[in-house]
Amino acid sequence: MSASRLRPMTGEFIRVEDEAAFQRQRFPETVRHARLVLGVAFGAGVLLLLNDLRIIGEPIFPVVLALRLSLLAYTVASFRWAARMADFPRLERLIVAWQWLTGSIIALIVYLKSNISLPISLVLPVIFYLAVPVSFRWRVLNGSVGSLLLLLAYATDPDDPLSLLSMGIWVLVLNAVLILLVLRDNRMARLSWCAIEAERAALASTARSHEMVEKTFLAAPIPMVVADIESGRILRMNEAGQRYFQQGPEDAPTTLGDLHLEPDVQKQMMENLRRTGEISNFEARIGQGDAPARTALIGGSMLEVNGRPAVVAGLMDITDRLMAEDKVRQAALHDALTGLSNRAAFQLSLEAACAAFNSVCLLLVDLDSLKDVNDTYGHDAGDALLVETARRLGQQVEERVGGRGFVARLGGDEFVVLLAGVRLPEAIDMAETLIAGLRAPIWYGGRSLIARASVGVAERMGETQTSGELMKNADLALYAAKSQGRNRAVVYAPQMRWAMQERVALHSALTEAASSRAIVPFYQPKVSLVTGRVVGFEALMRWRRGPQAFLAPAAFASAFQDPELAVLVGDAMIQRVAADVRQLLDRGVVLGRIALNLSPAQFTHTDVGRHLLERFDEARVGAEHFDVEVTETVFLGRRADHVRPILDEICGAGMHIALDDFGTGYAALSHLKQLPIDTLKIDQSFVLDVEADRFDAAIVCSVIELGRNLGLQVVAEGVETIGQARFLAARGCEVAQGFLYAHPMSAEHMADFLAAESDAVIAERLRALDPA
């Protein structure tokens, strides 16, 4: 509160709430003062009563006596009632009533010709203005009314020497002076009260702040100390500090020296304090008796305690945090399974080696057998294989090149050996040594595990070659090692990068072809060697590179090593075939069955059968118009219980299943028993020399006989001569496919081809098969 909040004309607070608070706080003193005024008034009334005894015998004496006694009685009653008032407004009403009664009685006595002199009577307004504890308006009103009543009472006496005018002027001046005194008293009282309240609030705030600081200091979870800078004596220490520094009941530290700070550290800390007045994040080692020293961050600032320089400091123990950071750093740079450095640590070491050495070689090692071990014996066995591989690699590198070698695990089954200051011939020799060392059996759970590995070797070519380029070269060499049959080391050559670029370009172009409908089917008829009729077609993939330029799959077979691309291209092929069949059926063309080839990559998805049927539904063509051909490579790396549900779903939809290129792959005869195979297709490599090569002839005859005994249809591929057709027909082969009957053709030409089929053409085919 301030003077700006006081009314300029009354000196009271503008806000009613502030005035009420002022009166409420001063109320006990106001009651005491009011009773004091009433007591003094009672005493004065008694004295005046005694003075009035001089007029005993006069006619007016009984009236004056009655008035005096009535006023004294009311004053006594008001004195008693004032002690019972609960708040200022009630007390004010009591006092105002007493004032009005007192003023009226005294004015009446003056009117009755009492011998009270005018100056003595005018003491009453002074008392009303200055002594009675009421609000400003009642002081002014009661004082001025009392003055007016007395003035009127005296003005009725013709013997009074003062004229009414002079008396009025005198009373007016007196009231003006009294009002100014009341105004000043009001302002001073309230300003004094405001100052006292502000000081009390400041003291309370200071006390609360001190208490809060004290409680915070004592309850802070970190150790805190207040110490004299000059003597080093500890003035205060919180509970956390006592627990931190006090090892036993008699170990409480009394000086900074008892905190076991290293002397140099303590000296530097004090210098920083004196120079800047504070310290922050000051790392120090703190001894704790016989316990290991701990690391803490110290922060503090200077202050005065009893006029002497002191410091208040807190510390945060970061020992556990540093240990955790070390563990995180260890985990961030090391492989959790093998303990070797990981990819991040290897990258740092590779960049450092490239900066420090002219000759740097990389050996990128990939385990060829890890997947087989995981699939056969479980991942625990695979982990054991990885751990032992890491141990052998580290041991061999240490024995051969010592500190110039660095071994890391990049992830999965891939390791890398960094050779700094080693030339390429030595690196090649090292790679062969690693492969030989990994061939030794690893015993796990009573079983012998073999760790075969492929290694890509690359040497840094000049100081301008970056570590990333060196890593790419090693990766290309590793790719070549795997392509050449695995379990070998291959050195990087520039043509590998060219081949890689070609593969990338091919991959990109083929992806674009799949999305731009450049993957188109060509159809080759399958002819019955029994009836001479066309019984169906095989849909063969072609990549349209121009208006009349088409590439067969052999030209871009390497792209199918990417499973995702193989699935993408295969799906594009299925959509085109389904659309062609729908169009030909709408034209009334009788097609027979159209055989679709599914790649091994498509069988990695267990929903391939459902997806195939969805494509047929989109084209509004039934599944009974199609056959599916799979090669024996579908079974590589998969068990029959993975492939069989897919083939069962396809077969259940009405499609036939043909095993393509039979005899050239890795399928077991048990697959013919376990899987819903309807047709065996003899690979064209056996048909080519079937007339001249007795081995090919024996294989072809065996397959035909096997199909007959198992109730399977046999189809021969690559039939190009009538002699081959006669040989197959004579041995019981049912269907032939090859250039002898037609080259692969587009859907438009297929309709014309079927339209040209006639009884004469069929009869001519059958006559050609008759050797007579």
Give the CATH number for residue 247.
3.30.450.20
Return the half-sphere exposure (C-beta side, CA atoms, 13 A cut-off) of residue 392. 24
| Residues 6 or more apart whose Cβ sits within 8 Å of residue 374 | 381, 382
Return the half-sphere exposure (C-beta side, CA atoms, 13 A cut-off) of residue 429. 7
State the residue range of the domain holding 291.
220-322
Same domain, 312 and 434: no
In a domain, 415, yes or no: yes
Contact 542, 522 (CB under 8 A): yes
Tokens describing residue 543: 């990549």
Q: Is the dihedral of CA 487, 448, 633, 649 positive or negative?
A: negative
pLDDT of residue 599: 86
Question: Whole-angstrom Cα distance, residue 697 to residue 703?
Answer: 10
Q: Is the dihedral of CA 102, 108, 113, 117 positive or negative?
A: positive
Question: Whole-angstrom Cα distance, residue 104 to residue 88?
Answer: 24
Question: Whole-angstrom Cα distance, residue 592 to residue 759?
Answer: 17
Instruction: List the Cα angle 631/637/638 in 5-degree steps.
Output: 75
Same domain, 282 and 362: no
Q: Which residues of the chain have pLDDT under 70?
A: 1-4, 113-122, 155-164, 246-252, 257-260, 262, 287-291, 635-641, 663, 665-668, 772
In a domain, 205, yes or no: no
Backbone angles phi, psi at 156, to 5 degrees: -85, -5
Return the half-sphere exposure (C-beta side, CA atoms, 13 A cut-off) of residue 538. 26
Instruction: List the Cα angle 132/138/141 in 5-degree steps.
Output: 110
DSSP assignment letter at 13: B
Tokens describing residue 317: 């123990």
In a domain, 402, yes or no: yes
Question: Whole-angstrom Cα distance, residue 617 to residue 244?
Answer: 77
Among 97, 93, 92, smallest CA distance to 30 is for 92
C-alpha gyration radius of the chain: 58
pLDDT of residue 328: 78
Same domain, 434 and 413: yes
Contact 84, 93 (CB under 8 A): no
Tokens describing residue 497: 């990068």
In a domain, 155, yes or no: yes
Q: Which helix (H) or strand (E) holds 550?
A: strand 550-551
Tokens describing residue 296: 């803490």
Q: Is the dihedral of CA 492, 495, 498, 503 positive or negative?
A: negative
pLDDT of residue 105: 85
pTM: 0.52
Domain closes at, from 268, 296, 322 = 322
Instruction: List the Cα angle 330/335/337 in 5-degree steps.
Output: 120
The number of domains in the chain is 3
Among 427, 433, 422, smallest CA distance to 474 is for 427
Tokens describing residue 396: 């061999």
Q: Is 507 exposed, middle or buried (0-12, 13-18, 19+ CB in 10 A)?
A: middle
Same domain, 33 and 120: yes
DSSP assignment letter at 403: G
Same domain, 166 and 34: yes
CA distances from 283 to 166, 227, 277, 675 (A): 91, 19, 17, 73
Same domain, 347 and 382: yes
Question: Whole-angstrom Cα distance, residue 748 to residue 136?
Answer: 117
Question: Whole-angstrom Cα distance, residue 380 to residue 392?
Answer: 18
DSSP assignment letter at 338: T
Contact 201, 195 (CB under 8 A): no
Q: Is 232 exposed, middle or buried (0-12, 13-18, 19+ CB in 10 A)?
A: middle
Question: Whole-angstrom Cα distance, residue 694 to residue 697?
Answer: 5
pLDDT of residue 467: 85
Among 334, 304, 453, smallest CA distance to 389 is for 453
Q: Is 523 exposed, middle or buried (0-12, 13-18, 19+ CB in 10 A)?
A: buried
In a domain, 310, yes or no: yes
Question: Whole-angstrom Cα distance, residue 455 to residue 434?
Answer: 9
In a domain, 611, yes or no: no
Domain closes at, from 430, 462, 492 = 492
User: Position of tokens 């945060």?
Assistant: 316
* CATH assignment at residue 375: 3.30.70.270
Same domain, 275 and 184: no
pLDDT of residue 617: 93
Same domain, 289 and 362: no
In a domain, 297, yes or no: yes
Q: What single-letter amino acid sits at 607? A: D
In a domain, 459, yes or no: yes
User: Position of tokens 């089929």?
Assistant: 757
Same domain, 346 and 459: yes
Q: What single-letter amino acid sits at 113? A: K
Domain closes at, from 492, 520, 540 = 492
Same domain, 140 and 235: no
Same domain, 284 and 344: no
Contact 436, 488 (CB under 8 A): no
**Residues 658-698 pLDDT 10s:** 998 786 755 557 778 788 899 999 999 999 999 999 999 99
Same domain, 315 and 342: no
